Amino acid sequence: MRTITTLLSLLVMTSFMHDVISDNPGTTPHLSEIFVGRCWDYNLIKYKTLMTMTNVDVDCEALWNAFFKSFSFQAPCSLSMQNYQEFMDMARQDLPVNKAMFWSGTYVIAHEYAQDSGRYVTLEDTLIGYLANSIVWCGSASDPSGMNSSRCPSWTDCPLEASESFWASASATFAKSAKGVVTLVLDGSRDGKPAYSRQSFFAKHELPNLDDSVQVVVLVTHALGGPARETCTNGSIVDLLGDIRNRNLQFKCIDDPPAIVHLLCADDPEARECKLVKRHLAPDSVKPANDLTFLING
């Protein structure tokens, strides 16, 4: 979902590298084919690997028509969340109890941990998120296709941008469907940005739409080797816990849950935090071999 932003910055970086004036891309080519293809894929194949998800009995062509109607032939900056309501109502799914996972600034690690709904279900594991992930779209009032294929505004260009309104509406829909214990993954090591922002999708569209019976578990991850800029007891996460308390929801906050530390260690086994794991695993008398030195000198 918000990978779109990541994708855009990647594209901007790429064009910068190629010395091209950076610009936003327009609507993804073959949008209708991708959308309808993803819909069939989700309903016939993908959802079967999502053991915990229920299927959505939906006509993929009808779903595309509802999606297309929401934004096409309209200026890209004038779309409200309400525009997508009919589409959301057609595509929404029940979520398995205790499985909903939210993320904010933690796309990669949250999705690794969620493991395609093996452990948790993210918005991108639902039909709504799966259909739209990483694609770009916006309307055009003048082009006969109803879409702008040369340039779509970025989220910062206008308050009600076509895909931002979509993701806001999708996030609200996802939050409304969450039951039992829900999990939020935050990054306490972000440079220059707080782990929790009241401008985030979680603050604006998810927290307000959670059911009153939901309990929230906040997982705060930190980069291996630090710094731990913010934790469960300081920084913006304290504001978050206050906002959750104000919604009268039960909650707990956990710094560096071992399961996530172990996932981070898969990419960086030599980090200090991961060597501790290695030392505990090694038999007392055996010192861990320094494999790298051995290879270089041997």
Ligand X SMILES: *[C@@H]1O[C@H](CO)[C@@H](O)[C@H](O)[C@H]1NC(C)=O
Which residues, at least 6 apart from 152, have a Cβ–Cβ distance to it below 8 Å?
24, 25, 26, 27, 76, 136, 137, 138, 161, 162, 163
Active site residue 124: yes
Check 102, 124, 161, 174 and give the catalytic one.
Answer: 124
According to the binding rule CB under 6 A, does residue 230 interact with ligand X?
Answer: yes
Q: Least distance from C-beta 204 to ligand X, angstroms?
A: 23
14: its two tokens: 């790429």
Q: Closest-CB residue for ligand X?
A: 140
Q: CB burial class (10 A; 0-12, 13-18, 19+) of residue 160?
A: middle
Long-range contacts of 227-232 (CB under 8 A, 24+ apart): 227/189, 228/188, 228/189, 228/255, 229/188, 229/189, 229/190, 229/191, 229/195, 230/188, 230/190, 230/194, 230/195, 231/188, 231/255
Report, in angstroms and rounded to the nearest whole number, the Rg of the chain calculated over CA atoms: 22
Q: From the list 11, 74, 231, 249, which residue makes contact with ligand X (rule: CB under 6 A)? A: 231
> Would you say 140 or 171 has its CB closer to ligand X?
140
Q: From the list 112, 143, 243, 273, which residue makes contact with ligand X (rule: CB under 6 A)? A: 143
Which residues, at least 6 apart from 275, have a Cβ–Cβ distance to it below 8 Å?
288
According to the binding rule CB under 6 A, does residue 158 interact with ligand X?
Answer: no
Window of 124-132, 191-199, 208-216, 226-234 that interacts with ligand X by CB under 6 A? 226-234
According to the binding rule CB under 6 A, does residue 148 interact with ligand X?
Answer: yes
Check 68, 71, 166, 201 and give the catalytic one.
Answer: 201
Active site residue 164: no
Window of 9-17, 39-47, 145-153, 255-263 that interacts with ligand X by CB under 6 A? 145-153
According to the binding rule CB under 6 A, does residue 8 interact with ligand X?
Answer: no
Residues known to be catalytic: 124, 201, 206
**Site residues (vs ligand X, CB under 6 A):** 140, 142-143, 148, 150-151, 228-231, 234-235
